[in-house]
């Protein structure tokens, strides 16, 4: 009796179950009736299964079933052997027989769950796991996954919030929740849940953050601000509170407090860089209309010096360039180029900004340097020629223009500009023949473009 009982416990302990399963109370030792013939057959089946001779194990168990047809352990062991062979239909049939004979034995239900899980019959698995929950609450984690797999998101969300409330959050559950909340149908109930969580746990920052985000996404800015203010009150050191307060201060034209909020958020490692970029863009527009905050804007840009995803100074320069704010565009392009001299695009934008702002002496020096750094880049020769022409250094202008023209390939617009500047240079030198030559060439290219 003792030997059989011990063996029964041992092989139960070897069961494979999904996720976390804790052993239940040991079955009574008298489950297996003492019978010399049965005992020998049963141990033969266990031995054969342990060395993966599943067919021989099944043959032995079938013989044992003839001797004790009402013994649930026979059907349970048959289920395990068929399961190991991936004969899921036969495995399920035997596990179900065992569960009917001994409905309070968790392991038979686990076997049924194993089959449904392996065959991906998640709908059928749900009532089985709901039964397993009555044995062990840990199975609620499995139930959450099953609800997700069967798209029963309302049930999944309810269960996730229950488990979060009772055991704390987990990465897996939070990923599930984020996926569910992409659908606006489930956001209303989640808002109520988060409000409830904030009441229960006023020092838990993540609940405020999630609710602020949800309100912002649904354009409920006033409610987002209200939650941000609550967060600031409960957790004065919270960086996230300042994200929403920043927008509130800008809307109220309160630049001083907006700057304070911005200078808390930008150094923070907790805040996503995309949020920081959005804030900077908003402050850029504000500073354009409130020039006294330009110094604060420059300081803000310094926080992004090592940001490889977005070159902030360059983007601000482009913003001013598009508005024809040439001085400001020049300022930020130069700031960007201090650490990115090889950025040809920005160098060319800067050249054009100098031109528009009629800073021809600076343009001449800068373009000359760039022709040495980028000797095959024709645009820099063009700007060097243009600048020297404007300063009446016509011979020097011609030298740059003739050198650069050799590098122009398949760019009619640029070639036209070269010829115009060469015509201007020779006109300045009083050479009417060559002036006419280059102006005629420019006109021919213009006509060609119009065809």
**Taking all residues of the chain, what is their mean pLDDT, rounded to a whole number?**
85
Beta carbons within 8 Å of 145's beta carbon, 6+ residues apart: 176
Q: Tell which wins on pLDDT, 299 or 35.
A: 299
Please identify which residue in the block is written with the tokens 């002496």. Answer: 361
pLDDT digits (tens, 9 = 90+) for 125-176: 999 999 999 999 999 999 999 999 999 998 999 999 889 888 888 889 989 9
pLDDT at 10 over 60: no
pLDDT of the residue at 319: 85
Superfamily of domain 372-451: Tetratricopeptide repeat domain (1.25.40.10)
Q: Tell which wins on pLDDT, 402 or 451.
A: 402
pLDDT of the residue at 29: 37
CA–CA dist 360, 337 (Å, integer): 19
pLDDT at 88 over 70: yes
pLDDT-based confidence at 9, cuts 50/70/90? very low
pLDDT at 294 over 70: yes
Element (DSSP H or E) covering residue 192: helix 187-200
Q: How many residues does the chain have?
A: 451
Neighbours of 413 (CB within 10 A): 10
pLDDT of the residue at 344: 94
pLDDT-based confidence at 211, cuts 50/70/90? confident
Weakest mean pLDDT among 40-44, 258-262, 281-285, 393-397: 281-285
Domain ranges of the chain: 1-118, 238-310, 372-451
Q: Give this prediction's pTM.
A: 0.51
Neighbours of 125 (CB within 10 A): 26
Q: Tell which wins on pLDDT, 379 or 5.
A: 379
The domain 1-118: what is its CATH number? 1.25.40.10
Structure tokens at 186: 């489930």
pLDDT-based confidence at 309, cuts 50/70/90? low
Asked if 203 and 238 count as a contact pair (C-beta separation under 8 A), the reply is no
pLDDT at 34 over 90: no
CA–CA dist 247, 17 (Å, integer): 51
Beta carbons within 8 Å of 182's beta carbon, 6+ residues apart: none
Angle between helices 412-428 and 394-405 in degrees, nearest 10: 150
pLDDT of the residue at 108: 93
Neighbours of 230 (CB within 10 A): 16
pLDDT-based confidence at 237, cuts 50/70/90? confident
Report, as an integer, the average pLDDT of 398-411: 91
pLDDT at 11 over 80: no
pLDDT at 16 over 50: no
pLDDT at 281 over 70: yes
pLDDT-based confidence at 356, cuts 50/70/90? very high
Report, as an integer, the average pLDDT of 184-193: 82
1-118 and 372-451: identical CATH topology: yes
CA–CA dist 334, 301 (Å, integer): 13
pLDDT-based confidence at 5, cuts 50/70/90? very low
Report, as an integer, the average pLDDT of 69-84: 94
Eight-class DSSP state of 309 = S
pLDDT of the residue at 37: 83
3-state secondary structure the chain: CHHHHHHHHHHHHCCCCCCCCCCCCCCCHHHCCCCHHHHHHHHHHHHHHHCCCHHHHHHHHHHHHHHCCCCHHHHHHHHHHHHHCCCHHHHHHHHHHHHHHCCCCHHHHHHHHHHHHHCCCHHHHHHHHHHHHCCCCCHHHHHHHHHHHCCCHHHHHHHHHHHHHHHCCCHHHHHHHHHHCCCHHHHHHHHHHHHHHHHHCCCCHHHHHHHHHHHHHCCCHHHHHHHHHHHHHHCCCCHHHHHHHHHHHHHCCCHHHHHHHHHHHCCCCCCCHHHHHHHHHHHHHHHHHCHHHHHHHHHHHHCCCCCCCCCHHHHHHHHHHHCCCHHHHHHHHHHHHCCCCCCHHHHHHHHHHHHHCCCHHHHHHHHHHHHHHCCCCHHHHHHHHHHHHHCCCHHHHHHHHHHHHCCCCCCHHHHHHHHHHHHHHHHHCCCHHHHHHHHHHHHHHHHHHHC
CA–CA dist 362, 387 (Å, integer): 9
Report, as an integer, the average pLDDT of 94-113: 94
pLDDT of the residue at 36: 54
Q: Tell which wins on pLDDT, 189 or 384.
A: 384
User: Which long-range contacts (C-beta less than 8 Å, at least 24 apart) are formed by 308-312?
Assistant: 309/273, 310/273, 310/277, 311/336, 311/340, 311/343, 312/277, 312/280
């Amino acid at each position: 009796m003792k030997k059989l009982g011990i063996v029964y416990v041992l092989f139960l302990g070897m069961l494979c179950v999904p996720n976390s399963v804790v052993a239940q109370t040991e079955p009574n030792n008298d489950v297996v009736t003492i019978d010399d013939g049965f005992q020998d057959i049963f141990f033969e089946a266990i031995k054969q299964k342990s060395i993966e001779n599943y067919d021989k194990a099944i043959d032995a168990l079938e013989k044992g079933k003839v001797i004790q047809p009402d013994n649930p352990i026979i059907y349970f062991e048959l289920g395990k052997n068929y399961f190991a062979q991936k004969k899921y239909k036969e495995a399920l049939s035997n596990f179900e027989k065992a569960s009917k004979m001994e409905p309070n034995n968790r392991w038979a239900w686990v076997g049924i769950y194993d089959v449904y899980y392996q065959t991906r019959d998640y709908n059928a698995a749900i009532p089985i796991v709901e039964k397993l929950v009555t044995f062990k609450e840990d199975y609620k984690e499995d139930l959450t996954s099953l609800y997700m797999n069967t798209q029963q998101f309302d049930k999944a969300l309810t269960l996730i919030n229950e488990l979060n409330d009772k055991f704390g959050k987990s990465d897996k559950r939070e990923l599930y929740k984020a996926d569910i909340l992409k659908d606006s149908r489930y956001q209303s109930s989640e808002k109520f849940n988060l409000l409830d969580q904030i009441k229960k746990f006023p020092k838990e920052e993540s609940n405020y953050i999630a609710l602020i985000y949800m309100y912002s996404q649904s354009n409920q800015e006033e409610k987002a601000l209200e939650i941000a203010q609550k967060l600031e009150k409960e957790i004065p050191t919270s960086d996230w509170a300042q994200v929403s307060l920043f927008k509130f201060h800008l809307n109220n034209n309160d630049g001083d407090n907006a700057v304070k909020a911005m200078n808390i958020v930008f150094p923070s490692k907790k805040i996503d860089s995309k949020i920081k970029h959005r804030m900077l863009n908003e402050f850029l527009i504000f500073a354009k209309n409130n020039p006294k905050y330009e110094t604060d804007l420059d300081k803000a840009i310094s926080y992004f010096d090592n940001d490889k995803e977005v070159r902030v100074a360059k983007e601000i320069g482009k913003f001013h360039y598009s508005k024809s704010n040439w001085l400001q565009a020049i300022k930020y392009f130069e700031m960007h180029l201090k650490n990115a001299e090889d950025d040809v695009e920005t160098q060319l934008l800067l050249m054009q900004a100098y031109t528009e702002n009629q800073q021809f002496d600076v343009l001449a020096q800068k373009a000359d340097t760039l022709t040495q750094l980028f000797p095959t880049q024709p645009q820099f020769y063009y700007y060097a020629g243009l600048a020297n022409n404007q300063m009446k250094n016509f011979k020097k202008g011609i030298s740059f223009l003739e050198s650069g023209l050799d590098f122009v390939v398949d760019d009619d617009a640029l070639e036209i500009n070269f010829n115009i500047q060469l015509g201007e240079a020779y006109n300045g030198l009083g050479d009417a023949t060559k002036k006419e030559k280059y102006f005629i060439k420019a006109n021919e290219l213009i006509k060609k473009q119009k065809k």
